[in-house]
Amino acid sequence: MYGWCGQRLRVDLSKGTIIKEPLSYEYRRKWIGGRGMNSEVIYREVPPNLDPFDPDARVCFGVGPISGTAAPASGRVTVSCKSPLTGGFGDSNMGGHWGAELKYAGYDQIIVQGRAPKPVYIWIDDDNVEIRDARHLWGKFPREADAMIKQELGDEDIHIVVIGPAGENLVRFASTFNDVYRAAGRTGHGAVIGSKNLKAIAVRGSGTVKIARPKEFFDVCNRLRQKFKTDPMRKFLYEIGSLSLINVANHDGWLSVNNFKQGAHPEAWRMSGEEHSKTVLKHREGCFACPICCGRFTEIKEGKYAGEYGGGPEYEHSVPTGPRVGVFDPNAIWHNMILTNNYGMDGIETGGVIATAMEWYEKGLITSKDTGGLELTWGNQEVVEKLITMIAMREGFGDVLADGASRAADRLGLGDEGHKYTIATRGMTLPGDDPRGLGFAYGVGFAIGTRGGCDHLRCLASLELSGFMYPGLNTKILGDERPVKPTTTVGKGYCCFYEENQKAMVDCLNVCCFTTHWSYAVLTADQVDYFNAVTGMDITEEEFMEIGERIVNLERAYWARLLSGKREDTIPERFQKEPMPKSVDGQTNVGYVFPVEKILPGYYKYRDYDPDTGFPSERRLKMLGLEDVAKDLAPLRAKYNSESEKKKKKYYY
Amino acid sequence: MAVLTKAEAKRLSELDDFYMPLLDSLKKAGVLDDAGHRRYMLTGYYRLVEYLYTKKLISAKDAEAALAEGFTALVASLSS
Amino acid sequence: MQNRKVLIYNQEKCTGCRSCMMGCSLFHDGECGKVLSRVAVVRNEALGESFVVGCDLCTDAPCASVCPTGACSYDPALGITKINQDRCIGCKECAMACPFGAINMSYKTGKAFKCDLCEGRSEGPVCADWCPSNAITYAQPTVAFKAKRREKLIERLKAVKAEEED
């Protein structure tokens, strides 16, 4: 078999059974791999009303047919589950080398279900899979657990997925890590893994990925790799990492400062990639087969955090625990990053809940009585630091925040006023980019994202984000160059539709978005080329994009089953009503608001979502080969629009 | 070739969200069938231009202009 | 002949991405896998360190001197040792003798295989061509070492100057 390994691993931790399931040609062709196969399993096997921490819940690790090959950046892994943070569909993906190793061991996917009576880890050594005792690993940081497992198994070259203490403590936004620092951050599957008493999955693979048309595949890869050498985006990402965006964000006013109250700050340059590279960068890092290598390794040299080290930073991780909570001291930001990584939780949500609590505190919705004496003032690094530990350990006020901003608002009884400041959609807080400046299509992504407060890796509307670096590209795909302006409504509906389908395919193949439609060295047509060369299939660009559409619709249907639809397709009031204030000289987006309702109807038309419910239409579902999903949704359409349902405010599920 | 009327071309070029209406108009004019409508919605504008060129509905020069200047140039050539 | 291009590994630049390994195995074997690569990347994730290991093109090569059948021998025209697959008996002596661990055993044939500088590829070895951080370069030694010398010297003098300014 070419590309795929053709089997998946199902590990039931309650029964202690390990089953290898073959994957048929039809199944592989319909769902490809990674996000597609994962979403299929979550839709079919995890009922929408199941508690995400129920032993019966699933967590899936998926890789694609391209994973572990020479295709640019082909080492990603998608982790999917029913999210304990949002209660809806949740997935996230990570780089590193674990995905490739899993392919070499001979598996396209791992499904974990059940709950082990005691902490365990899974050891996959090619065909031999065993469940091993992990009691001695419980409570350890990813870095420690990784080292201990490698020592125990006597091989330093294996790759390990591991959760930190936050996952064990069921922090609702705990992450999963591989290669110590590569995180699948969002939606909280770290906690689901923790609830299964699973600490780690170690993999060693000695196989290879077979290629159907090796000569052709080599030529495609070679052509793309040559393109990367002169790609303008690649240069920035390699030289200064994704923090190269800080100065851009600060100029264009889309940096999240003080929980999105501002879009820029005069001090932000201190944490820019340019400064980072000059001061604390120890090493540049690359995930598997990556031609970009945006990964960083940081070692703090001065001040009270001197001597601390760790992988990162990355833009989306650093902004929420930095500017979003009003912290601008770069060493403090790197420290927060190292801390959240050690505990194993999502930096975005961690910063998001702390920033939300700070705004509640500022507005007088909570006082130091609620917080156990902590003064939650903007930029109070001492408190931020303390809260990160308290959240991970679920201590005091941290226990409240560990449920995520939206649930915390209800636990504290803050009502609608409290939810106003959570800056979240479908129960997940937004990453550190303000749609009032970064772009309207990107903002629509927040509203319709199939994993809630979605971020750069899903509806990454790169055509408006990095399109300006590639003149003519917007015209080529969208038919007009005007959508390159972030703050216009022209062409954005189609932009979202196209990019969302494309990104779904990127996640199915499990290559990195930064290689394709972010830097534009790899276009959709190139992806079709390498997919066909590896698998020996001959699918067309149309079929390729249709698979992406199928996956988006399936995930959307998961939300529809939770009665989440059109009314929930919105973004926080702040972006719609509060004009962007001026914070720095030359800020380009002063006075802008984000008119999401102007773009959504157009987007719905491309998707063929019901205009009154926002559910995928029966017609489109059938066209995509999802007849059974159409049947699932049929009785829900009227229910969603019943009067009682209309009155409900749904912040999470 | 006059596939679209002048008024239609004018209407399209004033729209914010123009791509779906453009595909709809082409379907109405009989240039695209259902499958074609769907194909070019999924694969993007340049594939549509390629198709129109191979069907000889626009000239090589028109196709070039359509890709350089965008859909306003395309609807102009389709309505003249 | 003295100025023939060689492979140079700049360890401090290696990002650990293994693009080289993928290019190598795909180019030579038409499959992708670490086990089929002639070049290897050793990663120490916890400390963010990576090292690239490949044939260092020894002229007095240990792999050739230990080979009991003469399968592994230095090719003066190419400037690298080659393993004649017909004569290799798969004894692994060369793999053990290589000071860098740059020789591997093929899971398909059970015989030893090693770098051949992608013989016949006009753009030179794939690993160097694809390396995103220039950790592997394929260059004339005189030029490369001259550049290296200059780089090191400037680095040292800059440090001295910075110290004086402090």
What number is the ipTM of this complex? 0.96
Chains interfacing with A (3 or more CB pairs < 8 Å): B, C
- Which pLDDT score is estimated for A312? 85
Residues 31-70 of chain B whose Cβ lies under 8 A from any Cβ of chain A:
38-39, 41-48, 67-70
Q: How far is A179 from chain C (nearest CA, A)?
A: 6
Q: 């001695």: which residue's tokens? A: A136
Contact B67 A478 (CB under 8 A): no
Mean pLDDT of C86-99: 95
Considering CB atoms only, which of B38, B39, B70 is closest to A475? Answer: B70
pLDDT exceeds 90 at position B30: yes
d(CA B56, CA A449): 40
Contact A475 B41 (CB under 8 A): no
d(CA B32, CA B53): 13
Contact A211 C23 (CB under 8 A): no
Contact C30 A215 (CB under 8 A): yes
Q: Which phi and psi (to 5°) does residue A156 adopt?
A: -85, -10
Q: Is the dihedral of CA A85, A86, A91, A95 positive or negative?
A: negative
Report chain A residues whose CB lies below 8 A from the CB of B39.
542
pLDDT-derived band at A530 (thresholds 50, 70, 90) equals: very high
- Which pLDDT score is estimated for A465? 85
pLDDT exceeds 90 at position A455: no
Q: What is the largest CA-CA distance in chain C?
A: 64
* This prediction's pTM: 0.94
d(CA A378, CA A571): 24
Considering CB atoms only, which of A211, A228, A286 is closest to C26? Answer: A211
- Which pLDDT score is estimated for B1? 61
Considering CB atoms only, which of C23, C36, C133 is closest to A208? Answer: C36
Contact C26 A146 (CB under 8 A): no
- Is B21 touching A (CB cutoff 8 A)? no
- If we measure between CA atoms, which residue out of A336, A341, A329 comes closest to residue A354? A336
Q: How far is C31 from chain A (nearest CA, A)?
A: 5
Choosing among C13, C15, C106, which should be mutated to test the A contact, i.e. which has the most A CBs within 10 A? C15
Q: What is the mean pLDDT of chain A?
A: 93
What confidence tens digit (pLDDT) does each residue in A325-376 have? 999 999 999 999 999 999 999 999 999 999 999 999 999 999 999 999 999 9
Q: Which phi and psi (to 5°) does residue A363 adopt?
A: -80, 0
Q: How far is A487 from chain B (nearest CA, A)?
A: 13
Whether A543 contacts A100, CB under 8 Å: no
Q: 């995400």: which residue's tokens? A: A52
Considering CB atoms only, which of B16, B46, B72 is closest to A476? Answer: B46
Chains interfacing with C (3 or more CB pairs < 8 Å): A
Q: Quick one: which H or E segment has residue A50?
A: none
- Which pLDDT score is estimated for C1? 54
Classify domain A7-204 at the CATH topology level. Answer: Aldehyde Ferredoxin Oxidoreductase;  A, domain 1 (3.60.9)
* Strands (DSSP E) found in A262-354: 281-285, 295-299, 309-311
pLDDT-derived band at A626 (thresholds 50, 70, 90) equals: very high
d(CA A519, CA A506): 13
Mean pLDDT of A62-82: 95
Q: Cα–Cα distances in Å, from A400 out to A77, A188, A352, A422, A476?
A: 31, 16, 14, 14, 49
Whether A432 contacts A354, CB under 8 Å: no
Considering CB atoms only, which of C15, C43, C107 is closest to A284? Answer: C15
The yes or no reply on domain A216-423 and CATH 3.40.50.1110 is no
- A-B C-beta contacts closer than 8 Å: 71
What confidence tens digit (pLDDT) does each residue in A399-434 have? 999 999 999 999 999 999 999 999 999 999 999 889
Nearest CA in chain B to A481: B70
Whether B24 contacts A524, CB under 8 Å: no
- Is A524 touching B (CB cutoff 8 A)? yes
Considering CB atoms only, which of A208, A283, A295 is closest to C25? Answer: A208
CB neighbour burial string for A274-307, b if at least 16 within 10 angstroms, e if fewer:
ebbbebbbbbbbbbbbbbbbbbbbbbbeeeebee
Asked whether B and C share 3 or more beta-carbon pairs under 8 angstroms, the answer is no
Whether A142 contacts A344, CB under 8 Å: yes
Q: Which phi and psi (to 5°) does residue C9 adopt?
A: -105, 120
Nearest CA in chain B to A498: B42
d(CA A90, CA A189): 8
Considering CB atoms only, which of A479, A524, A623 is closest to B71? Answer: A479
Domain residues of chain A, as ranges? 7-204, 216-423
Q: Quick one: which H or E segment has residue A80?
A: strand A77-82
What confidence tens digit (pLDDT) does each residue in C109-166 have? 999 999 999 998 999 999 999 999 999 999 988 888 888 888 888 888 888 888 887 7
What are chain C's domains? Answer: 7-135 (3.30.70.20)
Q: Which long-range contacts (CB under 8 A, 24 or more apart) does A304-309 make?
A: A304/A331, A305/A331, A305/A332, A305/A334, A305/A335, A308/A334, A308/A335, A308/A338, A309/A282, A309/A338, A309/C47, A309/C48
Percent of chain A with pLDDT over 90: 89
Whether A36 contacts A78, CB under 8 Å: no
- Is A477 touching B (CB cutoff 8 A)? yes
Report chain C residues whose CB lies below 8 A from the CB of A215.
30
pLDDT-derived band at C2 (thresholds 50, 70, 90) equals: low
d(CA A551, CA A31): 8
Nearest CA in chain B to A492: B17
Q: Quick one: which H or E segment has residue A358?
A: helix A347-362
User: Taking chain C, what is the end-to-end CA distance rounded to the nearest angstrom?
Assistant: 48
- Which pLDDT score is estimated for A643? 92
